[in-house]
């Protein structure tokens, strides 16, 4: 069955790899971001998120109005902060909250509209979801929030399957040149694991994608019989 995927921030790294792989499986894949990667069979939509909530609402509503429905929403973002709390500008704090809290809420709320084909949600966090870090006070908080958002959505019988994946660091330009990423995860491998572990029969699943050794650890799972 051909399905429609919407991958937010799907123009680079892990998310672009997911888009390519789902497209290769014959699905219709829409991606959003600031820059068009100009890849055949992927439908690009410009979307930028700012600290302005009302502007974000307008942009998301305009984007969603172009769909009859979406079968699967994949949400993550390559947006990072690494400072002590007193060194983070207020505008940067607001943007982080918009990207990781408000915007995913808006997408799920506005896409949850097809009772004959309930929306499937895949949320990609990171190891920061479950690891406190001195220089990531807001980043770890919003990652943990996104994970809990997914768990709560998993209790909603009007939403389809919900997956939360928390991969460890990946080899991408996301990191500064000073960081040694030689042992980090390959984004293509992570994409393969996300596709594999979101395919099985369950209602909600939370899995960590680990390195050294590379593996997938299912932390929590519910089925339709025990939600």
* pLDDT, tens digit (0-9, with 9 covering 90-100), for 178-197: 677 778 999 999 999 999 99
pLDDT confidence of residue 22: 97
As a whole number of angstroms, the distance between CA 58 and CA 51 comes to 13
CA angle 151/8/223 to nearest 5° reads 25
pLDDT confidence of residue 227: 39
pLDDT confidence of residue 178: 66
CA angle 162/94/53 to nearest 5° reads 75
Q: How confident is the model at residue 173 (pLDDT cuts 50, 70, 90)?
A: confident
Q: Is 4-222 a CATH 3.40.50.720 domain?
A: yes
Q: From 183, 76, 96, select the one nearest 139 (Cα to Cα).
A: 96
Report the pLDDT averaged over residues 15-39. Answer: 94
Domain ranges of the chain: 4-222
| pLDDT higher than 60, residue 198 | yes
62-76, 81-95, 173-187: range with lowest mean pLDDT: 173-187
Report the pLDDT averaged over residues 113-117. Answer: 78
Cβ–Cβ under 8 Å, residues 11 and 31: yes
| pLDDT higher than 80, residue 104 | yes
Q: Which residue has the higher pLDDT, 72 or 113?
A: 72
Strand partners, 29: 5, 42
Report the pLDDT averaged over residues 75-85. Answer: 87
- Cα Rg of the chain, angstroms: 17
pLDDT confidence of residue 183: 86
pLDDT in tens, 46-55: 998 889 999 9
As a whole number of angstroms, the distance between CA 95 and CA 108 comes to 19
pTM, two decimals, is 0.94
| pLDDT higher than 60, residue 217 | yes
């Amino acid at each position: 069955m051909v399905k429609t995927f919407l991958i937010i921030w799907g123009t680079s790294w892990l998310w672009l790899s997911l888009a390519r792989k789902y497209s290769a499986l014959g699905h219709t894949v829409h991606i959003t971001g600031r820059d068009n990667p100009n890849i055949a069979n992927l439908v690009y939509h410009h979307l930028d998120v700012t600290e302005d909530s009302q502007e974000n609402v307008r942009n998301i509503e305009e984007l969603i109005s172009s769909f009859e429905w979406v079968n699967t929403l994949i949400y993550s973002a390559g947006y990072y902060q690494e400072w002590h709390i007193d060194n983070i500008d207020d505008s940067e704090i607001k943007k982080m909250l918009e990207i990781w809290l408000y915007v995913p809420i808006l997408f799920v709320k506005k896409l949850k509209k097809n009772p004959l084909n309930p929306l499937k949600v895949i949320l990609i966090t990171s190891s920061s979801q479950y690891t406190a870090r001195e220089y990531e006070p807001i980043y770890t908080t919003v990652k943990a929030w996104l994970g809990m958002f997914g768990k709560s959505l998993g209790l909603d019988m009007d939403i389809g399957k919900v997956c939360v994946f928390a991969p460890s660091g990946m080899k991408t330009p996301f990191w500064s040149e000073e960081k040694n990423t030689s042992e980090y995860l390959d984004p293509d491998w992570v994409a393969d694991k996300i596709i594999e572990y979101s395919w099985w029969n369950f209602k909600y699943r939370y899995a960590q994608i680990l390195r050294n050794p590379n593996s997938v650890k299912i932390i929590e799972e519910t089925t339709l019989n025990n939600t």
